């Protein structure tokens, strides 16, 4: 086995381990400080935070969007208040997630209807944070 093979083997092990490291809570926002969407509740935002980070409903969101929701190579930044799909309203976010759940069952986790509403409230809150002071 050449030295090159050994080196790429190490790189492969690191790449396989990386998804778990991405779940680490670096940059995770305090859901108590996030805004609550119109018609939603603080409880939904709190549950949505748990789902997003894999602590409820087997949610997988943070694996692709990052614990800080600022995106990874596999999922876009959800904190900018700019949206690829829809206008960032509760209704539009819910449509996007519902579409994903139909196209790729299980990819987002195992979300009951109440879980969807909660994670939608959380994603809405991520995108509607007050601008931070510089």
For position 59 contacting ligand HEC by CB under 6 A, the verdict is yes
For position 50 contacting ligand HEC by CB under 6 A, the verdict is no
For position 66 contacting ligand HEC by CB under 6 A, the verdict is no
Q: Closest by alpha carbon to 124, among 62, 69, 53? A: 69
Contact range with ligand HEC by CB under 6 A, out of 10-18, 22-30, 32-40, 53-61? 53-61
Judged by CB under 6 A, the chain residues 15 through 34 that form the site for ligand HEC are none
Q: Kindly determine how many residues on this chain lie close enough to bind ligand HEC according to the rule CB under 6 A.
A: 21
Give the list of residues 6+ apart from residue 108 with CB closer than 8 angstroms, or none.
59, 60, 61, 97, 100, 101, 119
13 beta partners: none
For position 40 contacting ligand HEC by CB under 6 A, the verdict is no
72 beta partners: 75
For position 35 contacting ligand HEC by CB under 6 A, the verdict is no
Number of alpha helices (DSSP H) and beta strands (DSSP E) in the chain:
5, 0
Give the list of residues 6+ apart from residue 83 with CB closer than 8 angstroms, or none.
92, 127
Among 53, 56, 109, 118, indicate the residue that binds ligand HEC (CB under 6 A).
Answer: 109
Give the interface with ligand HEC as residue ranges (CB under 6 A).
59-61, 63-65, 74-76, 78, 83-85, 93, 96-97, 107-109, 119, 123
């Amino acid at each position: 086995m050449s030295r090159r093979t050994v080196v790429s083997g190490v790189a492969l092990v690191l790449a396989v381990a990386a998804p778990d490291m991405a779940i680490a809570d670096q940059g995770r926002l305090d859901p108590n400080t996030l805004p609550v969407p119109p018609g939603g509740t603080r409880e939904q935002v709190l549950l949505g935070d748990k789902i997003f980070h894999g602590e409820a409903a087997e949610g997988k969101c943070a694996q692709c969007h990052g614990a800080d929701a600022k995106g990874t190579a596999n999922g876009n930044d959800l904190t900018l208040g700019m949206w690829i799909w829809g206008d960032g309203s509760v209704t539009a976010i819910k449509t996007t997630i519902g579409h994903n759940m139909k196209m790729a069952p299980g990819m987002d986790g195992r979300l009951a209807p109440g879980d969807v509403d909660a994670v939608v409230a959380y994603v809405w809150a991520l995108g509607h944070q007050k601008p931070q002071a510089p």
